[in-house]
Amino acid sequence: MSGLDPIALQVVAGGLRAGCEEMGAVLVRSAHSANIKERRDCSTALFDPAGEMVMQAEHIPVHLGAMPAAVAAVRDEDHAPDVAWILNDPYAGGTHLPDITVVTPVFAGDELLGFAASRAHHADVGGRVPGSMPADSTTLEEEGVVIAPRVLDDDALEELAGQMRQPAQRRADLRAQLAANRTGARRLVELAERLGVEPLREATAAVLDYAERRTRACLAELEDGEREAVDVLEAADGDLELRLRATVDGDALELDFEGSAEQHEGNLNCPLAVTVSACLFAVRVLTDPDIPASAGAHRPLTVRAPDGSLLNARSPAAVAAGNVETSSRVADLVLGAFGRALGQGTMNNVTLGTEDWTYYETLGGGQGACPEADGPSGVHVAMSNTLNTPVEALELEFPLRVVEYAVRRDSGGAGAHRGGDGVVRELEALEDVTFSLLTERRRHAPRGADGGADGASGRNVVAGDEVGSKASGTLRAGERLRIETPGGGGQGEP
Amino acid sequence: MLLGVDVGGTFTDAALVTGGRLHTAKAPTTPRDQSEGVMAAVASVLDDAGAAAGDVEHVAHGMTVATNALLEGKVARTALVATAGFTDLVELGRQARRELYRLCAAWPAPLVPVERRFGAAERTGPDGVLTELDELEELVGAVAGCEPEAVAVCLLHAYAHPRHERAIGDALRERLGDEVHVSLSHEVVGTFREFERAATTEVDAALSPLLAAYLRRLVDRARDEGLPAPTIMQSSGGLASLEEAAGHAALTVLSGPAGGAAAAALLSERCGEPDLLCFDMGGTSCDVCVVEGGAVRETAQREVGGRPQALPMVDIHTVGAGGGSIAWRDGGGALRVGPHSAGAEPGPACYGRGGNEPTVTDANLVLGHLDPGAPLAGDVELDAEAAHAAVGELADALGLERDDCAAGIVRVANNEMVRALRVMTVERGVDPRDFALLAFGGAGPLHAAAIADELGMRRLLVPRASGVLSALGLAAADRRRDRARTVLLHGGALTSEALAVEEGDAAYDVRYRGQSFELTIRDVEPDPGAVREVFEALHEERYGYRDPDGEIEVVTIRERRTEPGPDVEFEAQERGDVRGPTVVGLPEATLVVPEGWAGSTDETGTLVLERQG
């Protein structure tokens, strides 16, 4: 056992965790957009001076492994107190454009203690369509403003917000991110004052080692050897195949996506950081979720994806759906390789709007059954865990009416443990609006495991006509959009 | 003569105040029918005071009947009526899974199963009725057909336009008679956001028949003894009449812990300490609340047992760290404490009842914070050897000396409580160093000073009546009625007339238009300019900025009518000085005063300690 004694270890880990949670609370409570406040589509974390993630607050799993890439992108800059950095470039520390990351260096005197970072999904970052989540983009530029790492001062804030829709809201949300980082910085400085700078460094190293030890202890319990999984994504012009070979070797795990589809013309591409995030999510599910969320837990894991493939795309491939949809499939591959029934496998991204307003929502569905329990119904299953927007709040704010919001009965797969049911959500437009649907599992159902039945595929219906998993167009006043989300797979013979 | 009776997990406490003297008694809690334990504690305290039941002018009661029924799912057979197309609202919740990485962790099942949910043919929108209510007779017939004991009605936008809810309520009452309880969402809650309103209404309907039956039994027993009918503690920290509580059980789901909050408010007033961070640590858990400017902080949105309750409640945060919390070594070799508790049976190793896992209480005994010769509450004799053995075994597993391990257990437990206190302060934008720490409950005073040090707090209050403080708080609590309605006022509609309330004082939930989260402001004139100023000042204090161009929206008006509680006189106590390091024995509690802390007893018997240097 290195460095700290077992007690100090818990105390430091607790202090870091409290700091991250407080950052998250500040961000959620001071942002303006429903996306951050109601849906809590954001994450906060603290890093050491080397850019290793020391602790992350539990918000959105898709940010889990991707935050370190953002800090790595600015780590080697010349840092000064109170000079924060901003980025969203998927090929320089980002994931997809709406996720904007703000990184603030933390100093004790003139010594760099580490970084406080916050990431939030902004409701709009410019580009071709309101909401910046086009269903059919083919280049990054169509998806919005690409922010390479740069200093975030008042001028930059004005300039960037000015390129996006609802600039006042963007400005407020970015300020909320800065406020969250200041809070994290303050907590880190307080810890350094109490422990001393060098002891804090040792303590954070010990926290990382501790997470690594616990992860290795869990991996060592898995049977050694290779497991394989194959699954598909539903691109507009056909299926894209993804492949995984998972190798457990003692207390280490290698996840190799060799053989997966090349990057494509559409926007299901992922930067490697997103692929890594999804793998970390699945590994956390398969090991012990109580292990502190830090870079230490990532050390026993190797993730490989061929350069230029869908899972390790090259600039300037479009990526809007990679973060929200492909990431779910990557998690499915890992969970499936280890014998788990699959959940709905999509976030069912729905964007509606005009030039004056944008409304974005994601919908829950069926969770895959677990070896010991039924899968819950109507929940986010993997990389997302955002809240819905209440029907009453939605109708107060937008010219939309909800016609039905219900559990989609019997859509979960049968089994010794049943898969969860999907949901039905039907909206009526009260004026002409554009819509954009980024969904998956419309052609291929979520699979059951061990003899459990598959869940039901999802359905998208526009003005009475069924459309594909990626669709966009105009919904006229009085027309309806009906989404039926997929059910989860069952586990074991019914 | 004033009487407060508080039902806890293990003991039912009674506090009788007569002519400035405080009498206390404890009786075992009787889970099957809490009124038995209540009457036993009452008999015991009357006996102690040499008083007769007829002398008691006022009885206030806090209990866990509604809470326990909710947590155990032992509720009335309930039906739900909702707008057609939306009968699954409670099941769908907010669509977040309960735990991020335990994929099958489930939210508690709705109290109403699918077969007892009925859609009403109607639609109301933000601006009023869109589709008139139809097929009412068929609806009521279908509800009657499932033979419910209670019915919850929650229609979309009923917070502003309750016409259809009222019509359905009238028809249900006419058809089902007085025996079946009917809860209407606009009456129970009155605010927007349909899931939270529906979930609260469902709880109200499902618990009310049961709570009413309990209160009837209690009143019968009290009447037989010659006691007046009790008033009932609500989750808000104020008392309700028996009829109000029996009619709306959702008001009482935190009745038990709210007694502790009422006690904290009482202490705050008597000791002249307007700002207190309070922690009440018992055997299995620790409740934290905040007193600001003499008033207990409240919230209008929290969960009880995984179900959101959109009613005013004292803002209490509970963590699973108590005297009985078990210490263990995890897979990474770190020392952990809780959330598992040894409870009262078998209890900590030192209880000598067969428990052999080390608990926080065992660690305190090893460290000499507890006197092995003195019995704990409930006359438990302490077995020091068993405590040493249990802690020693864990110490070996961790490669530590036994005393270091014991100190570590206490430190890690303190860490959990510090985290809870941080949630209640820094996470809500408040600096704990501006507060004094009030510690009570059987285990609170043991840990108080260490926790104050950890948070940088310099002032610590420990009341003499720590052990039964909640019962005392009940006896002195205010009577209170709350009513909230979502109004969504902005622009020209935001006028003084629209902001005014008929009676009592008003609080307003306010936001910048476009925000989805509101700040509640109090003590403000019903004037748009004043509301804006107070809101913006609070927004700046909490979130660091104002938005001078932003439009203000008053989302909800919260009306509160209060009748002050009876005046409780405290018995004058002898003053005495304390200087650490020392251990002070209190009735039913022990105070640890470390080096660097010193102070004295004030006239209320409260030990007021200050950090030296």
d(CA A435, CA A306): 34
Please answer yes or no on whether A390 and B194 come within 8 Å at the CB atom: yes
- Is the CB of B332 inside 8 Å of chain A's CB atoms? yes
Tell me the DSSP string of B224-261: HHTPPPPEEE-TTSSEE-HHHHHH-GGGGTTHHHHHHH
d(CA B152, CA B134): 19
Collect the ranges in chain B with pLDDT lower than 50.
none
Q: Please report residues of B whose CB lies closer than 8 A to that of A6.
A: 329, 333-335, 398, 400, 408
Element (H or E) spanning A210, and its range?
Answer: helix A197-220
Collect the ranges in chain A with pLDDT lower than 50.
1-2
Residues B258, B318 contacting (CB under 8 angstroms)? no
Q: Please report residues of B whose CB lies closer than 8 A to that of A58.
A: 100
d(CA A382, CA A331): 7
Task: Choose the closest CB to B333 out of A1, A58, A385.
Answer: A1
Nearest chain A Cα distance for residue B270, angstroms: 33
Listed in order, strand segments (DSSP E) in A205-333 are 225-235, 238-249, 252-256, 301-304
d(CA B359, CA B445): 17
d(CA A359, CA A367): 25
Report ipTM (2 d.p.).
0.91
Please answer yes or no on whether B419 and A9 come within 8 Å at the CB atom: no
d(CA B582, CA A355): 70
pLDDT single digits (tens) A274-303? 999 999 999 999 999 888 888 999 999 999
Give the contacts of B468 (CB within 8 A, at least 6 positions apart): B6, B13, B14, B15, B24, B26, B588
Q: Please report residues of B whose CB lies closer than 8 A to that of A410.
A: none
Q: Please report residues of A whose CB lies closer than 8 A to that of B398.
A: 6
Residues B486, B193 contacting (CB under 8 angstroms)? no
- Least Cα distance to A101 among A126, A77, A84 occurs for A84
Please answer yes or no on whether B94 and A387 come within 8 Å at the CB atom: yes
SS3 assignment, position B278 = strand
Q: Please report residues of A whose CB lies closer than 8 A to that of B158.
A: none
User: Please, which residues 463-482 of chain A have a Cβ atom closer than 8 Å to chain B?
Assistant: none
Please answer yes or no on whether B91 and A285 come within 8 Å at the CB atom: no
pLDDT of residue A342: 98
Residues B197, B82 contacting (CB under 8 angstroms)? no
Please answer yes or no on whether B92 and A211 come within 8 Å at the CB atom: no
- Least Cα distance to B439 among B581, B566, B280 occurs for B280
The one-letter amino acid at B493: A
pLDDT of residue B378: 55
- Is the CB of A213 inside 8 Å of chain B's CB atoms? yes
SS3 assignment, position B168 = helix
- Least Cα distance to B478 among B171, B128, B236, B143 occurs for B236
Task: Choose the closest CB to A6 out of B398, B427, B512.
Answer: B398
Nearest chain B Cα distance for residue A404, angstroms: 5
The model carries a pTM of 0.88
The one-letter amino acid at B323: G
- Least Cα distance to B244 among B203, B197, B211 occurs for B211
pLDDT of residue A355: 82
d(CA B119, CA B99): 31
Produce one character per residue of B50-75: b if its CB has 16 or more CB atoms within 10 Å, e if not: ebebeebebbbbbbbbbbbbbeeeeb
The one-letter amino acid at B393: E
d(CA B597, CA B451): 13
Q: Please report residues of B whose CB lies closer than 8 A to that of A185.
A: none
d(CA B590, CA A175): 47
Q: Please report residues of B whose CB lies closer than 8 A to that of A331.
A: none
- Is the CB of A251 inside 8 Å of chain B's CB atoms? no
Tell me the DSSP string of A90-154: TTTT-SSTTEEEEEEEEEETTEEEEEEEEEEE-S---SSSTTS--TT--BGGGGS----SEE--H
pLDDT of residue A2: 44
Q: Please report residues of A whose CB lies closer than 8 A to that of B544.
A: 30, 175, 179, 182
User: Please, which residues 77-96 of chain B have a Cβ atom closer than 8 Å to chain A?
Assistant: 85-89, 91-96
Give the contacts of A194 (CB within 8 A, at least 6 positions apart): none
pLDDT of residue B88: 98
- Mutation target to probe the A interface, by most A beta carbons within 10 A, among B88, B107, B512, B551 is B88
pLDDT of residue B613: 76
Tell me the DSSP string of B4-58: EEEE-SSEEEEEEEETTEEEEEEEE--SS-HHHHHHHHHHHHHHHHT--GGG--E
- The nearest alpha carbon in chain B to A371 belongs to B104
Give the contacts of A292 (CB within 8 A, at least 6 positions apart): A13, A17, A55, A207, A210, A211
Q: Please report residues of A whose CB lies closer than 8 A to that of B411.
A: 7, 11
- Is the CB of A122 inside 8 Å of chain B's CB atoms? no
Please answer yes or no on whether A289 and B415 come within 8 Å at the CB atom: no
Task: Choose the closest CB to A6 out of B89, B331, B334.
Answer: B334
Rounded to a whole number, what is the distance in angstroms from the first to the last CA of chain A? 47
Nearest chain A Cα distance for residue B400, angstroms: 9
